[in-house]
Amino acid sequence: MPLATIGAAMGSHVRVGLEDSLWIGPGQLAASNAEQVTRIRTILEALNFEVATPDEAREMLALKGRENVAF
């Protein structure tokens, strides 16, 4: 979380998830990706950063979207 916050402050995009880090805070394991997303969103909004919607993130990353996968 600290590095994601520093990256955002430097103008970078932020990515969180259990595949990147298992932690939600010092010595505290995250229960899920959703918990990490909620935590970083809370931090970024407190710093007055705009958080992209899922659709905006998919567009920025040129992803095909949920409706176009065979899951």
pLDDT tens per residue, range 20-68: 889 998 999 999 999 999 999 999 999 999 999 988 988 998 988 778 8
**With 0-12 CB in 10 A as exposed, 13-18 as middle and 19+ as buried, what is 9?**
exposed
- Please check the confidence at residue 7 and state whether its pLDDT lies above 80: yes
Residue 5: pLDDT band by 50, 70, 90 thresholds? very high
pLDDT at 64: 84
- Please check the confidence at residue 70 and state whether its pLDDT lies above 80: no
DSSP secondary structure of 10-66: TT------TTT-SEEETTEE-S-HHHHHHHHHHHHHHTT-----HHHHHHHTT---G
